[in-house]
Amino acid sequence: MKFASLTFLMCALFGAGHVYAETMRCNDGIIATGASSFEVLTKCGEPVDKEIVNPTVQPDGNLPRGAVTVETWVYGPNNGAHNFLRFIDGRLVKIETRRL
């Protein structure tokens, strides 16, 4: 029983469903998930690369219900690593650091 309680506690503290935000240090401050694209540009400057995927317009000229714009911005290299920032409709949702 004690092992099961300890396992549950470890999963609750370190498992999926964490509530902390991903962050990245920039020249003019720290950004975190939830930041706007404007805030990221202000603190980090222009990315070295940017990909924008706009929603596909339907034949009638309207956007599909729930359609979003997804952007991926790349910063770096910084000590051999690149930071990939994913935005959905102008809001930062993910920061991923990769060594290429």
Q: What angle do CA 47, 48, 49 make, to 5 degrees?
A: 90
Residue 49, classed as helix, strand or coil, is strand
Instruction: Give the chain's count of helices (H) and strands (E).
Output: 2, 6
pLDDT in tens, 53-90: 999 999 998 999 999 999 999 999 999 999 999 999 99
Domains defined along the chain, listed by start:
21-99 (3.30.1450)
3 to 12, 45, 58, 77, 81: CA distances (angstroms): 14, 49, 55, 44, 39
Q: Pairing relation of β-strands 70-78 and 81-88?
A: antiparallel
Tokens linked to 99: 């060594």
Predicted confidence band of residue 39 (pLDDT cuts 50, 70, 90) = very high
Q: What is the pLDDT of residues 18-32, one digit of tens each?
A: 456 799 999 999 999
Residue pointed to by tokens 């004690």: 2
